[in-house]
Structure 1
Amino acid sequence: MTSTFLSVSLLFIASLCTADGTMEVTVGRCEFNSTDLKDIEFTYSLYYNKLEYARFSSSVGKFVGYTEFGVKNAEFWNNDPSQLNAMRAQKATYCGHNIGIWYKAALTKSAEPHARLHSEDPPVGGHPAMLVCTVYDFYPKLIRVTWLRNGQEVTAGVTSTDEMADGDWYYQVHSHLEYTPQSGEKISCKVEHVSLKAPLIVDWDSSMPESERNKIAIGASGLILGLILSLAGFIYYKSKTRRRILVPTTD
């Protein structure tokens, strides 16, 4: 499995409101893809009423101004060796320290993927059948999904989506296989992920098409519901009959 590029940010924000309603905001950001200092970028931005007027970047090594006010302040700060040395040290003292903690707490964790197979109706004029392998609830993002026919990897007729974030640290991916069913063959979806000790293989049950299984399940449910309603009606009828009182007639 190949490596992937991970870019993550850590933020710290400070703000100051004045009596006339203006706001001064400073934002410190650590962008990184590993715990190595060479893979870390520290930036410190200063905002006045939502407008960034100056920024310090560890890759530049000094302050840069973006407004007239910011240029004047950047020049002043850049001429102060103690100020520059303190900002340059943040890459190691703040970013390096916190990134190491964060990697241990989150990025080294993993979650095993789950997978299921289902069939889809092919488009008009398309292939006779299409299988979809849905893999979900896995972390980290990098994963490999392949198709097997009788134990041999299949490459023709295979399309896959990109890994999609669920918004809760987990990912999902969908792989499609267009194929012509043959008697006695075995179709499987193979999933390889860093959280798995061995590949996860899910076999397709081709004994009955999924659409037919759904029809049978729906029909059986309808039959059971009909029997229940009929039984309830019969019980209600019998109870009403028993409660009926016969009044004798007189000549």
Structure 2
Amino acid sequence: MASSFLGFSLLFLSLNAADGFKNYAASYCEFNSSEMKDIEYILSFYYNKDEYLRYSSSVGEFVGYTELGVKNAERLNRDTAQLAALRAQKERVCKNNIEKWDSGILAKKVPPSDVTLSSVTPPGGKHTHMLMCSVYGFYPKHISVKWLRDGKVTTSDVTSTEELADGDWYYQIHSHLEFTPRSGEKVSCMVEHISLSEPVIRDWDPSLPESERNKIAIGASGLILGLILSLAGFIYYKRKMKGRILVPTN
């Protein structure tokens, strides 16, 4: 598992001069899991962004990185009471907070809110069709989007975006398949995610979507109505002209 980082407290001990020198300390926790063996408590001291002294729970004492830091480490390591208090920070501060983060955030799983399959215009080339599979509203970000042709995974002519952050903890991703249709071929998009008990599969239906069918139906109805009105007008005109006698004029 990749190393995670969590900072719980940041204590600034600042001495600001005209040219901006600063001395400060920062304490934080690094962890791979909520197990004590995977947690490290660190207290670091900095001068102008350079670390000169550190306490680490994995070492159990202070270590100096400069001449001043080495002298302070020797002095502080003789204080057994302070070392014991710092060792307790690993459980008192790190473990308690990590468990809350792990259950409330890191272990959170949200399945995709929507998986859509649509036809898009290809940028060019020998292919005649391009499909886009869009997955929205999932967490965590790692997800697998695959294309199936007649039930078999295909990787040729497939391009995908990275997982895109929505800014609200959730993610979206878009995958494209550029292909030449074959008669009777079944094309599908398969989505796998840690939040799903089984993959979500969307099959491509080459027929027009309902919205397009409605547009065509409305257009056809309008055309038929126009033809009927035109025919009615023509019949009325012919009947009206039938009873008239045309008189030539000089």
TM over 0.5: yes
Residue 185 of structure 1, CA deviation:
2.8
Aligned-partner SS, 1:55: strand
The one-letter amino acid of 2:34's match is T
1:152 paired with 2:152, answer yes
Any conservation in 2 of the 1:13–1:25 contact (CA below 8 Å)? no
Amino acid at match of 1:53: Y
Q: Residues 124 and 144 from structure 1, CA distance in 2 versus in 1: closer, same or farther, beyond 3 angstroms? A: closer
Q: Deviation of residue 53 (structure 1)?
A: 2.3
In structure 1, what is the equivalent of residue 130 of structure 2? 130
Aligned-residue identity in percent:
53
Distance 1:45 1:173 in 2: 39
Does the alignment pair 1:48 with 2:41? no
Partner of 1:232: none
Distance 2:172 2:5 in 1: 20
Query: CA separation in 1, counterparts of 2:5 and 2:166?
Result: 17
Segments of 5+ residues of structure 1 without an aligned counterpart are: 224-251
CA displacement at 1:36 relative to structure 2: 1.3
Could you tell me how far 1:49 is from its partner in structure 2? 4.4
Name the residue aligned to 1:61: 60
Q: Residues 55-204 of structure 1 correspond to what in structure 2 (within 5 A)?
A: 55-113=54-112, 114-204=114-204
Mark the CA change 1:6 to 1:121 in structure 2 (over 3 Å): closer, same or farther.
farther
Runs of 4+ in 1 over 6 A off after TM superposition: none
Rate the CA distance shift 1:151–1:163 in 2: closer, same or farther, 3 A: same
| TM-fit CA distance, 1:126 | 4.4
Output the CA distance in 2 between the equivalents of 1:37 and 1:161: 38
Q: Which residue of 1 aligns with 2:226?
A: none
Equivalents in 2 of 1:19, 1:194: separation in Å? 50
Larger radius of gyration between Structure 1 and Structure 2? 2
| SS of 1:196 mapped into structure 2 | coil
Give the Cα–Cα distance (whole angstroms) in 2 for the partners of residues 19 and 172 of structure 1. Answer: 45
Pick aligned residue for 1:14 from 2, 7, 11: 11
Post-superposition shift, 1:20?
Answer: 5.7
1:30 and 1:166 map into 2 onto residues whose CA distance is 28
Residues 11 and 27, structure 1, Cα contact 8 Å, conserved in 2: no
CA distance in 2, matches of 1:46, 1:194: 40
| Deviation (angstroms), 1:156 | 3.2
Which stretches in structure 2 are left out of the alignment for 5+ residues? 223-250
Does the 8 Å CA contact 1:188/1:203 hold for their aligned counterparts? yes
How many residue pairs are counted as aligned between the two chains? 214
What is the rounded CA distance, in whole Å, between the counterparts of 2:98 and 2:126 in structure 1? 50
Change (3 A) 1:64 1:119: farther
Kindly provide the CA deviation profile for residues 108-163 of structure 1, in whole angstroms up to 9, marking residues without a partner as x: 22211132223343344343322222223211223222112233333333343443
Q: Tell me, in whole angstroms, the C-alpha distance in 1 between the residues paired with 2:167 and 2:76.
A: 40
Give the alignment's TM-score, normalised by structure 2.
0.71
Q: Which amino acid in 1 is paired with 2:160?
A: S
1:248 paired residue number? none
Q: Provide the alpha-carbon RMSD of the alignment.
A: 3.2
Q: Equivalents in 2 of 1:206, 1:140: separation in Å? A: 32
Give the direction of change, closer, same or farther, for the CA distance of 1:35–1:204 in structure 2 (3 Å limit). Answer: same
Paired residue type of 2:108:
K
* Cα offset, 1:81, TM superposition: 2.4
